[in-house]
Chain A
Amino acid sequence: MGYVLEIAQVALALALAPGLVGLIRWLKARLQNRRGAPPWQPYFELTKLFQKEVVMSNNASWLFRFAPYLIFASTVAVVFLMPLLASPLPFDAIGDLLVVVYLLLLGTFFLALAGLDPGTAFGGMGASREMTVAAIAEPTIALAIFGLALGAGSTNLGRIVTETLADPGVVISPGHLLAFAALFIVTLAETGRLPVDNPATHLELTMIHEAMILEYSGRYLALIEWAAWLKLTIFFTLLANLFLPWGVATTLAPGDLLIAIGALVLKLAALGVVVAIVETRVAKLRLFRVPELLSVSFVLALLAVTSSFLLK
């Protein structure tokens, strides 16, 4: 039953991811007094891309073809380790937060390689910028979650959720709050949102994530886009379920699971609203200010760990 649920929750995450991005886009449009495409537009985009012919640069190697599958697969693999709907789950034993972080980094690494592969100026530019961001963002993720792990006594994400549910007071501890702030900033950076990257721009010279995937088309592009949206869902789930785990089922009873699905959708939508508002309020940072922002989030994470350790 647990294995069925694992597969079900991956399917759910894959199904929800485009809707989440669509919701943010639609909210942003409304906040700017535009009508905007409907929230379900990304589903059409995926369908369209999967049906389109793949056009490839003559300079592209096998790596360019291979990378989308790897990026997609590594992102999906992360979902297996996430306490999306219920905890504990059978795959919890396979990997903990370090595996999650490195699986995400694996995807980023191959995305950067794929950006470099066709030898275009934009791809290289995007790859170099992505690495600048990732170099500070990835350790921050690990550190922020580690702040929670210290309290829970385990680096296992499912365990952290269970422990937090058992002792809800810990949610307002300084360690939790600081870690939440750190992880929120990193979420914006890692998922290519403002003020770090502008997902809506057409200006190649300013792009980070988009610059790396400019050469992609057809099903490859669909896989990369879907993986990127899934990554957003993963980060939102981390924020939602590690810090506010209510609603996550502790048994596999159908009633609890239904509540878990409802709670997850609500939490994701709420975070979507927050991100849409943030993105409307801020401008994009000058590129060299981005490391400053990320350093702030790293320090927050460090403080989270310190305070969790001291107040334990």
Chain B
Amino acid sequence: MVTVMSDLVQLQQALTAALPTEVSDFHTPRPQQLYCRLARGAAPQLAKLLRADFQTELALLVANDRRADLGVYEVHYLFDNPRQHWFLHATEHLPADDPTIRSMATFYYPASRFEREIKDLFGIRAVGQPDERPLVRHGFWPESYHPLRKDATPPADFRDDGTRFPFLPVGGEGVYEIPVGPVHAGIIEPGHFRFSVVGETVIDLKIRLYFTHKGTEKLFEGRLPAEGVELAERISGDTTIGHALAYCQAVEALAGCEVPARARYLRTILLEMERLYNHVADFGAICNDTGFAFAHSQCFRIRERLLRLNRRLTGNRLLRDGVVLGGVKHDLPADLNLGAELDAILADFNEVVAISLNNTMLRDRLEGTGRLTTPTAIDHGVLGYVARASGIDIDTRRDHPFAAYAELPVQPPVFATGDVYARAMVRVEEFRASVKLIQQATATLPQGALTAPVGKAPAWASAFSAVEGWRGMILHWVMMDEQGRLYRVKVKDPSFANWPALSFALLKNIVPDFPLCNKSFNQSYSGNDL
């Protein structure tokens, strides 16, 4: 812990030395988190310094409308250093009559997406942003409507303004476009994919998402903290525990609540159960897209076994109602030998994996397909299995331990090739590791209470929490008002970072391999478009 503290001290000294007037008000409300105030327009300088000296990139950009009490907009920059295990949280104030920030888009692509997002939702413009196109704003919203401003009133009548979405056309002889979606043949969510193709080779893919805006962040506002959990569970249907846990941990951090050890272990078990059922389904689905339906039906059978275990654990097949503020709702059933059940399921899964991977035709389809190179992956700030398949060694469970992960061994599998095969194999290895993790957690499960009371959180303070969901790092950022109600909740699903990288993975592949690449990414539409 001593060395760790010195990291933050070093960071603070380096920042004070390099940016004496720009950065101020350092404090450390929680371990491994350094908070500071940022002078107007200093964000790009800070980001460049952090990149050069600390190899640290922006993880989250949160805008907040504080005009009612402070007369300003706040913008919070959250920087993540996975190797030294710290976060830097910098806050910038923008006057209400001139809500602009300085863009970081020219040197960090993910920042561009955050900036476009807050421009649509808050009307905060990023000066120097090269991409003026809307991101979240649906074609039916008037341009002046910024729904996350506190005084935003929805127009009485949403209608298409008739302007076409400006896709960058690809010219040249023999180039043609294949538009796919937003309505698809399968039971998936809406997304528009526009391929520019020569023969069968894809030379460009433009993905337009954001057809599923539900106003999730706005729905959080005004709720009591406990009422936020059920909403967090529904951000992305397959990531119930991931989002609920991130949300609960953020609120608990704000309120200073210490979660009992038994609850921390049970939360770990639930999160790993979620990883298991999603990874097994994904492996089957990847195989199915090569026409190898055997693996698909077998994996679905295994997934069903896991879902039935989930129901015994939480009363819900998709683990809803498992995590509550301050702990967990259900204890491990006394008559359930989870370790033995998982051993049987793992043996089952290993057999299906062996049969599938011994099939040379299947291997031929997976290997070398949809390659996301490490530099491209880094440029996009990808997360989760997409990152680990492209040689980026990150895993929030190890880098910023939460729940019981500090006491359990986490060794994330990392593959270098970045192809569909690597993304499938990361899932297979993680499945195996998760079974071991759960078995270890059940074996060392401490006794004690399931929940701790969560006191009233201080008004106008903020806290965030990072959770390694099955897709990757989930971030929740929370602020309360004086009534103890949620004032602002910002959610980042890993899909937000990973979706754009899919276009690059597909370059120079052939059109019929797109579904395979897409399945190996398997990003959430709903988690991406809140």
Contact = CB atoms under 8 A, between A and B. Distances in A.
Interface of A: 28, 31-34, 121-122, 125, 194-195, 198, 200-206, 280-289
Contact of B365 (A28, A33, A286): A286
Given A28-B293, A283-B365, A125 B511 contact: yes
B292 A283 contact: yes
Nearest to B519: A203
Given A284-B365, A288-B200, 20 more contacts: A32-B294, A121-B177, A121-B178, A121-B180, A198-B291, A200-B291, A200-B293, A203-B289, A204-B180, A205-B511, A205-B512, A205-B514, A205-B515, A206-B512, A206-B515, A282-B359, A283-B290, A283-B291, A284-B291, A286-B513
Contacts, number: 78
B185 A32 contact: no
B282 to A, nearest CB: 16
Nearest to B369: A286
B293 A280 contact: yes
B206 interface: no
B298 interface: yes
B28 interface: no
Given A198-B291, A283-B290, A204 B361 contact: no
A199 to B, nearest CB: 10
Given A203-B186, A283-B359, A287-B200, A32 B293 contact: yes
Interface string B121-134: 00000000000000
Contact of B179 (A121, A195, A202, A281): A121
A125 B178 contact: yes
B38 to A, nearest CB: 46
B301 interface: yes
A188 to B, nearest CB: 12
B362 interface: yes
Given A121-B177, A203-B185, A204-B185, A287 B293 contact: no
A35 to B, nearest CB: 10
B482 interface: no
Contact of B510 (A32, A34, A286): A286
A12 B298 CA distance: 37
Nearest to A193: B291
B290 A284 contact: yes
A198 B296 CA distance: 14
Interface string B365-391: 100000000000000000000000000
29 contacts: A28-B293, A32-B293, A32-B294, A32-B296, A32-B297, A34-B297, A121-B176, A121-B177, A121-B178, A121-B179, A122-B178, A195-B361, A198-B291, A200-B291, A202-B185, A202-B186, A203-B186, A205-B515, A206-B512, A282-B291, A282-B359, A282-B361, A283-B362, A284-B290, A284-B291, A284-B292, A286-B365, A287-B200, A287-B510
Contact of A203 (B200, B293, B515): B515
A31 B294 contact: yes
- Residue among A31, A202, A206, A287 with max Cβ neighbours from chain B (10 Å): A206
A126 to B, nearest CB: 11
Nearest to B292: A283
Contact of A194 (B179, B291, B510, B513): B291
A28 B514 CA distance: 25
Contacts of B177: 121
Interface in B337-379: 359, 361-362, 364-365
B115 to A, nearest CB: 32
B305 to A, nearest CB: 13
B205 to A, nearest CB: 11
Interface string B189-205: 00000000000100000
